[in-house]
Amino acid sequence: MKNKPSILFIEPRADNLNIFSRYNLPRLGTIILATIMRDKGYDARVYFIHEKELEKMDTQCDIAAISTITATAPQAYRIADYFKRLGKTVIMGGPHVTFLPEEALEHADYVNLGEGEESLPLLVRAIEEKTPLRDVPNLAFIQNGEMVCTEKKPFSAPLDTLPFPDFSLLDYGKQNRIRSRVLKRIIPIQTSRGCPYDCTFCSVTGMFGKRYRYRSTESVLAELERYNPKNDKIFFYDDNFAANKKRTKELLRAMIDRGFKFKWSTQVRSDVAKDTELLELMYQAGCRILYIGFESVDPVALEAMKKSQTAEEIRNAIKIIHKYGIFIHGMFIFGFDTDTKPSMRSTIRFAIKEGIDSAQFMILTPLPGSDFYHEIKNSGRIFSTDWNSFDAHHVCFKPKNITVHQLQLMQIEAHTRFYSPWNVFLKLFRNNMGAFIIGVYAHKINQQWQKMERYYLEALEAVSRKIGKHEEASAE
C-alpha cells in the first residue's frame, strides 16, 4: 500500500514589534487542520516560525501547507518559494490569500479559499489519487495559464464535529510560554465563528460570514477538561465571545457548576456592560481580562465604521466592567476620514482619564476582504504595496485630513502619552499591579519601536511631502 503524503503546516511568525510581540499565539486554524489530517492517517507537523529559521527545521515532507494573514504574506510567499525549490507541493490558505488568490498562485500550486476543514482533506486526496481538482470546492489553481476557482461551498458541518486542536503537533510549550509573574501557557479555545456585526474595517465576515455559529456547551467543557488551571490560562479565541448572550450565559453557568478554576480572557464589544448578570457570571467563571474594541470616541467616526456605540456608552461600560474586577484592554483605531489631530487627541485623553488598564492605538489598515479595502483601493489611496506594513502599526494609505507622517506620529504620541512614566506610576499607586507591569513593558516597546523604525519615519516624512493628503484640509 502506498504511503500517504506527509504534510508540513507552516505559519509565519510576524516581524512587527508591539505590545503583543511576546505572546507567540498561533492561529487555531492551522493546528486544527493539522489535527484533522493526522486523524485521517497523514503524517502532519506544525511549525510556527520565522523564515530565517527555515534552514534549521526539518523540511522533509510531500506537501507544505502555508497559512498567512496580510502582514505576513511576503514572508509566506518566500517560504512557499523555498519549498517549491525543494520540489514540494505547496498549498496556501488563510485570510489574505482567500481574497487575493491570483497573487498567491504566483508562489503556490493551490490556494484554499476560506475555511479549510472540509476542502483541504478533499484536495490532499485529489493530489494523492490524481483525481479531478474541479471536484474540490473552495479551491483556486492555475490551468492552461488561467486561474480556476471551483465551487464556493461554505463550511456547513457543526463546529462540534471538529477535533480538539492537538498542540503536541508543534513545540507549543517552548513557543507559547510568556514571561509573567506566573509562567503559564496561554491556551486558545474557539467556541464560535462568525460575527453578526459588519464593521467596515474588519475582514472577519468576509472570511467566516455574518452567521454566528457556536459549539455546544458540552463540547467546550470537554476541551477545557484537557487542561490544568495550575499550568494554563485560557484565551477564548472568538471574535466576539458574547455575540449571543443567552448562549454565553449558558456556557458560563456550566463552567461555574463544573468547578473550573481557570483564569481566562476574551474579546467582546462594549455592550457586554449593559448586561450585569453576564458580567457577574463572567467574573465567577474566571474572566479576568476583556479585550474591547472601542475604536474611537468621535461620534462621526463611530457612525462611519458602523460601530453602534457612543462615547458615553463607552465611559459607562468601563466603569461597570471595572466594578466587577475585570481588567480592560482597550483598542482604538486612528485614520478614519473624519479623524483630525484634535479628535485623535480627544480619544487619547479619554483613554487616560477613564482609567483603561492597558491600551493599543492602532492605525486603520485596509485589509483585503474588508469594505474599507475596496473603498480605499478604488479611490487610489493605497500608497504602499508592501504587505508587511499592513499590520495596524504602519500607515499604508493616504488619510483625508492629515498626512501619512502626521497619522503615524499621532499613533506614537498616543502610546507615549498613555504609557508615560507618570501614568504608569499611577497604576502602581492605585494598586493596579497588572496594568503597571504591562505599562512598563509597553513604554519600553514604544521606545524600541521608534528607534527601530527611525529610517521608516524619515522615509514616511518624505512620502508625505510628495503625496500630501487625500483631500487638503486644515489638520491643526
One pLDDT digit (tens) per residue for the chain, 476 residues: 468 999 999 999 887 766 666 666 667 899 999 999 999 999 999 999 888 888 888 889 999 999 999 999 999 999 999 999 999 999 999 999 999 999 999 999 999 999 999 999 999 999 999 999 999 999 999 999 999 999 998 887 899 999 999 999 985 444 444 334 445 688 999 999 877 676 666 666 666 666 778 999 999 999 999 999 999 999 999 989 999 999 999 999 999 999 999 999 999 999 999 999 999 999 999 999 999 999 999 888 888 777 778 899 999 999 999 999 999 999 999 999 999 999 999 999 999 999 999 999 999 999 998 888 999 999 999 988 899 999 999 999 999 989 999 999 999 999 999 999 999 999 988 889 999 999 999 999 999 989 888 888 898 888 888 776 655 433 33
What's the pLDDT at 206?
65
Question: How many angstroms separate the CA atoms of 345 and 325, rounded?
Answer: 28
Pick from 157, 65, 79, 71: nearest CA to 111: 65
Dist. CA 315–CA 312, nearest whole Å:
5
Q: What is the distance of C-alpha 152 from the center of its chain? A: 24
Tell me the chain's radius of gyration from C-alpha atoms: 23
Question: Each residue of 404-425: b (16+ CB within 10 Å) or e?
Answer: bbbbbbbbbbbbebbbeeeebe
pTM above 0.75, yes or no: yes
Helix axes 404-418, 341-353, angle to 10 degrees: 20
DSSP 380-447: T-B----GGGTTTTS--B--SSS-HHHHHHHHHHHHHHHT-HHHHHHHHHTT-HHHHHHHHHHHHHHH
**Domains, the chain, with CATH or none:** 7-149 (3.40.50.280), 166-467 (3.80.30.20)
- Given the C-alpha cell 472570511, which residue does it identify? 207
Which among 357, 161, 370, 160 is positioned nearest to 265, based on CA atoms? 357
pLDDT for residue 276: 96
What is the reported pLDDT for 171?
A: 59
pLDDT of residue 117: 93
Bridge-based pairing of strands 146-149 and 139-143 is: antiparallel
DSSP H stretches of helix in 130-203: 172-175
Amino acid (one-letter) located at 334: F
Q: How many CA atoms lie within 13 A of 14 on its CB side?
A: 23
Q: Residue 432 is placed in which grid cell?
A: 493596579
